[in-house]
Amino acid sequence: MGIVTPGFRGRPRSSGPELPPGQYLTEDFPVLSAGPTPRVPMDRWEFVITTETSREHRWTWDDLMALPSETPTVDIHCVTKWSKLGTTWQGVSLDTLMSDVDTAADYAFVHSYGGYTTNLPLADLLDGQAWVAFKFDGEDLHPEHGGPARLLVPHLYFWKSAKWVRGIQLRFDDEPGFWETAGYHDYGDPWREQRYQGD
Amino acid sequence: MTDPHLDGNALAGPLREIFAVDVTAATSRCAACGLSGAVAALHVYPNAPGMVARCPGCEEVVLRMVRTPDAAWLDLRGAVSLRIPM
Ligand SMILES: [Zn+2]
């Protein structure tokens, strides 16, 4: 009979999970904030996708809750160099929100309650890569972490995952957002270490 | 007819004088609400990818600074002016 010997095959466990270059692993969830935490009454909360022809697609909180949601488990990487692995969320896929949106735009300009903005290619929001997330670790998303709802785009640095997301403007051109106008990279791929302009 | 402007090198002397001072002693005027006050009285949010300084009156961004390994990015578009005592 066979005896299973854990750790006998494969890479030694001490090598740990693979992180993007320059990142370190953290177990807690640091709060980064560029301003006061906005408080939005749920009866006035809305999420709006605006196309390049100014066509608006709006969801109230109840509309969002009525949509099918997903529970992605993903790794997140902050440009301030911490990474957190295996985080669990609940949210509505951008594929679902975009299903009735007719657009030829290439870029998305994301804006938030409180005035924060960020930009990314529209393609990076589609094909199961992005969500409007409203739960973290099974609990309602805490306001400090972007609740009631934040964008979740885990394959890019976490500043692209806009907290307190309010809407997305679809555009033909790439309009730089809050950090992108102040030296940070327009795309922000952690695996290529695209932290700053020119990286 | 020639346009009577110089190139930016003409700023070297005057700006060197300004950028050597302690800017926290300056008075800034918020571009959003017009409030004037000491830069030292701005609300600064340091736990972010850069330093963000906001108006104590309306919380709009007055000044941002990002330090990269080889550059500093200074954004003052939220300030109408800085009055720097000399
Ligand atoms: Zn102000």
pLDDT recorded at residue A4? 44
The tens-digit pLDDT sequence of chain B (86 residues) is 567 888 888 888 888 888 888 999 999 999 999 999 999 999 999 899 999 999 999 999 999 999 999 999 999 999 999 999 98
* Residue A196 to residue B69, Cβ atoms within 8 A: yes
Which of B49, B69, B71 is nearest residue A79 as measured by Cβ atoms? B49
Distance from CA of B1 to the nearest CA of A (A): 37
Asked whether the beta carbons of B62 and B79 are under 8 A apart, the reply is: yes
Amino acid in position A9: R
Other Cβ atoms within 10 Å of B55 Cβ, number = 24
Contact with chain B for residue A22, Cβ under 8 A? no
pLDDT band at A5 (very low <50, low <70, confident <90, very high): very low
* Residue A34 to residue B52, Cβ atoms within 8 A: yes
- The CA A112 to ligand 1 mean position distance, Å, reads 19
Q: Which of B80, B2, B84 is nearest to B36 (CA)?
A: B80
pLDDT recorded at residue B3? 79
Contact with chain B for residue A158, Cβ under 8 A? no
Domains and CATH numbers, chain A: 52-192 (3.90.420.10)
* Residue A36 to residue B60, Cβ atoms within 8 A: no
Contact with chain A for residue B64, Cβ under 8 A? yes
Q: What are the domain boundaries of chain B?
A: 8-83
pTM of the model: 0.90
